[in-house]
Amino acid sequence: MAKRKIRTPFFVVNPKAYLYGEKSLELAVEADKLAAEMDIDIIFTCQFVDVYAIKRATNNLILSAQHMDFLTPGAGMGHILPEALKNAGFDATFLNHAERPLTVAALTKCIKRADELGILTIACADSASDATAIATLHPDVMVCEQTELIGTGKTGDISYMQATNEAVRAVSKNTLLLQAAGISTVADVRKAIESGADGTGGTSGIVCAKNPIQTMRDMVKAIKEVGSRR
DSSP state letters, 11-68: EEE--TTT--HHHHHHHHHHHHHHHHHHT--EEEE--GGGHHHHHHH-SS-EEEES--
Residue 140 in domain:
yes
* Residue 126: domain span: 10-228
State the catalytic residues.
97, 145
**Domain count across the chain:** 1
CATH number for the domain including 160?
A: 3.20.20.70
In a domain, 181, yes or no: yes
What integer pLDDT is reported at residue 184 of this predicted model? 87
What averages of pLDDT result for each successive group of 10 residues across the chain (230 residues)? 94 97 98 98 98 98 98 96 97 95 96 98 88 94 70 61 90 94 88 93 93 97 83
pLDDT at residue number 155: 53
Within-domain flag for 2: no
First to last CA, the chain: 32
